[in-house]
């Protein structure tokens, strides 16, 4: 069975602090895809990144970076120099490439609060 675990329910930081959101996944598929989404207070989910299982290269996009490690089944997300606008719920998700019918499996999300 596929599963995504985001162990951190809530994180509070002060502006300019770095913060890492953890994501651990379980799958038997050899081909799979990992995603991160941001859900601001408005409710609409915003796509941040998609990574396939064959690409373990870390990715950096501005203040955001992602660390994918197959050995530990983790896909962690780091925000550098956090800002108040980063306050949101962040979801990690997984989809299997070998089997149909599962679409995206989401973790329960991590609520990030950044104070000024």
Partner 1 sequence: DGGITQSPKYLFRKEGQNVTLSCEQNLNHDAMYWYRQDPGQGLRLIYYSQIVNDFQKGDIAEGYSVSREKKESFPLTVTSAQKNPTAFYLCASSTGLYNEQFFGPGTRLTVL
Which chain residues interact with partner 1 by CB under 8 A? 4, 9, 33, 35, 37, 42-47, 50, 91, 95-97, 100-101, 103-104, 106-109
- Nearer to partner 1 (CB atom), residue 79 or residue 107: 107
Helix, coil or strand: residue 86? helix
25 in Cβ contact with 92 (< 8 Å): yes
Closest distance between partner 1 and the C-beta of residue 97, in Å? 6
Closest distance between partner 1 and the C-beta of residue 81, in Å? 26
Closest distance between partner 1 and the C-beta of residue 39, in Å? 9
């Amino acid at each position: 069975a596929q599963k995504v675990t985001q162990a951190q329910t809530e994180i509070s930081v002060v502006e300019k602090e770095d913060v890492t959101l953890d994501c651990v996944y379980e799958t038997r598929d050899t081909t799979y895809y990992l995603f991160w989404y941001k859900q601001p207070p408005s409710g609409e989910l915003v796509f941040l990144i998609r990574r396939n299982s064959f690409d373990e290269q870390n990715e950096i996009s501005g203040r955001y970076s992602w660390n994918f490690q197959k050995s530990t089944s983790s896909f962690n997300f780091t925000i550098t120099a956090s800002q108040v606008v980063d306050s949101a719920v962040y979801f990690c998700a997984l989809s299997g490439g070998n089997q149909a019918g599962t679409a995206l499996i989401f973790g329960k999300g991590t609520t990030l609060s950044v104070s000024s």
